[in-house]
């Protein structure tokens, strides 16, 4: 057997121990992925909020209204 074989550890463990270890690794990676996703969403929101300005329309102002339809998602009216 090779001295630095990464699978050597798993050859000595039972199937149950392997599954438990694998589940723990999956749980850690899922937690890490969720935290990373939340951080990315916060960064995107902050970027969006930097450039967003509230538009106040007054009666008589003209505005482009986009109405979704079955054929064309953005139909100008």
pLDDT in tens, 64-73: 887 766 666 6
What is the distance between the alpha carbons of residues 30 and 38, in angstroms, rounded to a whole number? Answer: 12
pLDDT at 22: 93
Report if residue 56 sits inside a domain. Answer: yes
- Which is more confident, 3 or 58? 58
Count structural domains, the chain.
1
Span 4-53, pLDDT tens digits: 777 777 677 788 988 999 999 999 999 999 999 999 999 999 999 998 88
Domain that holds residue 69: 8-76
Q: What angle do CA 26, 32, 33 make, to 5 degrees?
A: 85
**Does pTM surpass 0.75?**
no
pLDDT at 38: 97
Report if residue 1 sits inside a domain. Answer: no
Look up residue 77 and give its two tokens.
């009216």
């Amino acid at each position: 057997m090779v001295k630095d074989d990464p699978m050597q550890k798993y050859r000595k463990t039972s199937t149950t121990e392997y599954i438990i270890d694998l589940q723990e690794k999956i749980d850690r990676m899922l937690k890490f992925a969720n935290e990373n996703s939340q951080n990315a969403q916060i960064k995107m929101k902050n970027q969006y909020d930097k450039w967003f300005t509230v538009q106040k329309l007054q009666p008589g102002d003209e505005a482009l209204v986009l109405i979704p339809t079955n054929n064309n998602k953005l139909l100008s009216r």
